[in-house]
Structure 1
Amino acid sequence: MGIPTYDQLMLPLLKLAGARIASDFPTAERLLGDEFNLTPEERATRLPSGQQTALRNRTGWASFYLMKAGLLIKPKRGYFEITQRGRDVLESPPASIDKAFLANFAEFREFLTGAAVEPSANADSGLGSSTPDHATPDEALQGAYQQLRSELASQVLERLLQVSPEFFEQLVVELLVVMGYGGSRRDAGERIGRSGDGGIDGIIKEDRLGLDVIYIQAKRWQATVGRPEIQKFVGALHGQRARKGVFMTTSAFSADARDYVSHIDVKVVLLDGIQIANLMIDHGVGVTPVATYVVKRLDSDYFDEV
């Protein structure tokens, strides 16, 4: 069934607290994983940020909402306990607990709206219909970011396919310089596209001191780049006694091409259109910031009294 959503975890978590089987999050996470028969891979699955497992994040948000409804309390950092209200709920437990169920409690409605709201007969259905998404706030935020980034990468790639081959070569220079190669924009610009020697479009410094150089092939293509094109590039590298090269294209590489570069002596990196677009986003080339959101968390150490 996959990793349970945070609302699917709320009732099992409350039951663990009620039976005093678990009072800390690592134990709760392990037992919930057992209850839902999660595989080791599912237990290890992390959020897009990579900072936390999805199960730990969802367990944390499940406990957070239960606390806001007064069913659990947090006696100290990393621990939780059931309240009398929580025990009352378990006396006649519902089939499941979600935000709609928690809306029966005034504290939770106040938390959601920022002001006290009188209970209503349809509070259950109203809240349920307005919150269909079962993602935690962390997952919703990171998911929205990933979607926006994916859409932006598609837009960047679309524009790359429209520019001239000369503009694409200069863009490649700009990107590599911003990434730390080439020493300076002027130095790199003088080297790129100058040799025209047997399938090499340019040469750029690997580092600011010029201790080594990287040979570049930049192709603004729409057709898939196959093994023959890569072999020509590698042949050109051998002709220059070069050890490193980067083949960059707005299209994609065939599986045969990628397999070929994994079995040769020289180091050749293949960057397709999507990879180039994402590098441009990462390094601010051809894109501009629209808004910045800073997500903060409580600094528990700050409040520790010595």
Structure 2
Amino acid sequence: MAVPAYSELMLPLLQYASDGKEHHIRDAVQPIAEYLELSEEDLNEFIGNGSETKFAYRLRWAKTYLKKAGLIEATGRGLFRITQRGRDVLATSPTRITNDMLMQFPEFVEFKTGSARKTVDNHKESITESQPPKELIRSLHAEINRDLADELLEYIMGVSPAFFEKLVIDLLLAMGYGGALSNAGQTIGRSGDGGIDGYIQEDKLGLSMIYVQAKRWGAGNNVQRPAVQAFVGSLMGVGATKGVFITTSHFSQGAREYADSIPNLKVVLIDGTQLTQLMIEHNVGVSAEQTFVIKRIDTDYFELS
């Protein structure tokens, strides 16, 4: 048989995880392939630049969709485990799991549309309409990047605090701060630093400094107003006028309101969602896997005909 579509792999993968144990996606490849009775030819079919088999790639997307719908949960890099919602779905004895079935879950709607406010009915209506190819490519590209952002955040949560501080400096350098100076950005790298983890020169001449605070906190552990106040106190202590507070979690409303209200001091707050978006945009911790070029008619060429 041909390599199944990712949608045809969602039910076998969820059934594979039904034992409640923690699994790595690479360990699921062989048993599910055997269950589906795939041939060696099917398993040796590669995609793109040949770095991954088509079956492994589609199984990984099946995992992504199940995770976005809350049927499995990520427990580490590449690791996953079934959730109670996943058990509830299996209890209905489905013959297959489809995207339309997953659209009953708000988290999946948000992943597919980029907004939790869009209704399931509206989304179903939109996907039944014929999208022009370029619009479809843009939509799928955005979906790939949303998944990449989640995966990137998992990797960030697995690094050391010192590496995370270096990461945020690397990001600011990639965004153009500091110019080409070799010492344009530095981590402080010591305890008792008064809430400042690093600094970066705003311009090539080093006429202005931006100080950085980096908090690698888990989901749900939001940065509250007192943490931002402490950072502001540290900025004032060194005579700074600009600071960037970056976290892998989120900021409370009170923290954001306080940051917006400080006179004579500019503090930018970057949460986990913005952090991964900026990393993808500026190629920090990611690299291009494939590039597609869309061409059009060069009308200037034919004007001389």
Matches within 5 A, 1:38-49: none
1:156 — aligned with what? 152
2:238 — aligned with what? 240
**C-alpha contact 1:250 1:272 (8 A) present in aligned 2:** yes
Quote the sequence identity (%). 52
> Which protein shows a greater Rg?
1
Q: Partner amino acid for 1:199?
A: G
* Alignment coverage as a number of residue pairs: 176
1:92 — aligned with what? none
**C-alpha contact 1:218 1:247 (8 A) present in aligned 2:** yes
Which residue of the other structure, out of 194, 217, 221, is the alignment partner of 2:217? 221
Greater share of residues in strand: 2
Q: Is 1:289 the equivalent of 2:279?
A: no
**C-alpha contact 2:169 2:187 (8 A) present in aligned 1:** no
1:55 — aligned with what? none
Q: Is 1:231 the equivalent of 2:229?
A: yes
1:267 — aligned with what? 266
1:58-92 deviations in whole A, cap 9, x for unaligned?
Answer: xxxxxxxxxxxxxxxxxxxxxxxxxxxxxxxxxxx
Q: Aligned partners of 1:175 and 1:261: how far apart in 2?
A: 21
2:139 — aligned with what? 143
1:198-224 deviations in whole A, cap 9, x for unaligned?
Answer: 211122111121010001101111210
Q: TM-score, normalised by structure 1?
A: 0.53
1:195 to 1:303, Cα distance in 2 relative to 1, 3 A: farther
Q: Partner amino acid for 1:235?
A: G
Which residue of the other structure, out of 186, 191, 198, is the alignment partner of 1:202? 198
Gaps of 5+ in 1: 1-130
Deviation at 1:183, TM superposition (A): 4.2
Q: TM-score, normalised by structure 2?
A: 0.53
Q: Aligned partners of 2:197 and 2:234: how far apart in 1?
A: 10
Q: Partner amino acid for 1:271?
A: I
2:171 — aligned with what? 175
2:303 — aligned with what? 304
1:253-276 deviations in whole A, cap 9, x for unaligned?
Answer: 111111211111211111111111
Q: Aligned partners of 1:298 and 1:196: how far apart in 2?
A: 62
Q: Partner amino acid for 1:149?
A: N
Q: Aligned partners of 1:254 and 1:185: how far apart in 2?
A: 35
1:229-270 deviations in whole A, cap 9, x for unaligned?
Answer: 111111111111111000011111111111211111211111
Q: Partner amino acid for 1:290?
A: E
Deviation at 1:166, TM superposition (A): 0.9
Q: Aligned partners of 1:257 and 1:191: how far apart in 2?
A: 24
Matches within 5 A, 1:24-35: none
Gaps of 5+ in 2: 1-126
Which residue of the other structure, out of 241, 248, 251, is the alignment partner of 2:249? 251
Q: Aligned partners of 1:234 and 1:285: how far apart in 2?
A: 27
Deviation at 1:185, TM superposition (A): 7.7
1:101-126 deviations in whole A, cap 9, x for unaligned?
Answer: xxxxxxxxxxxxxxxxxxxxxxxxxx
Q: Aligned partners of 1:191 and 1:159: how far apart in 2?
A: 20
Deviation at 1:192, TM superposition (A): 3.7
Matched position secondary structure for 2:178: coil
**C-alpha contact 1:249 1:272 (8 A) present in aligned 2:** yes
1:185 to 1:160, Cα distance in 2 relative to 1, 3 A: farther
**C-alpha contact 1:183 1:208 (8 A) present in aligned 2:** yes
1:196 to 1:304, Cα distance in 2 relative to 1, 3 A: farther
Q: Aligned partners of 1:210 and 1:160: how far apart in 2?
A: 29
**C-alpha contact 2:224 2:254 (8 A) present in aligned 1:** yes
Q: Partner amino acid for 2:238?
A: Q
Matched position secondary structure for 1:154: helix
Matched position secondary structure for 1:215: strand
CA RMSD, Structure 1 to Structure 2 (Å): 2.3
Deviation at 1:162, TM superposition (A): 1.6
Matches within 5 A, 1:28-177: 134-177=130-173
Matched position secondary structure for 2:267: strand
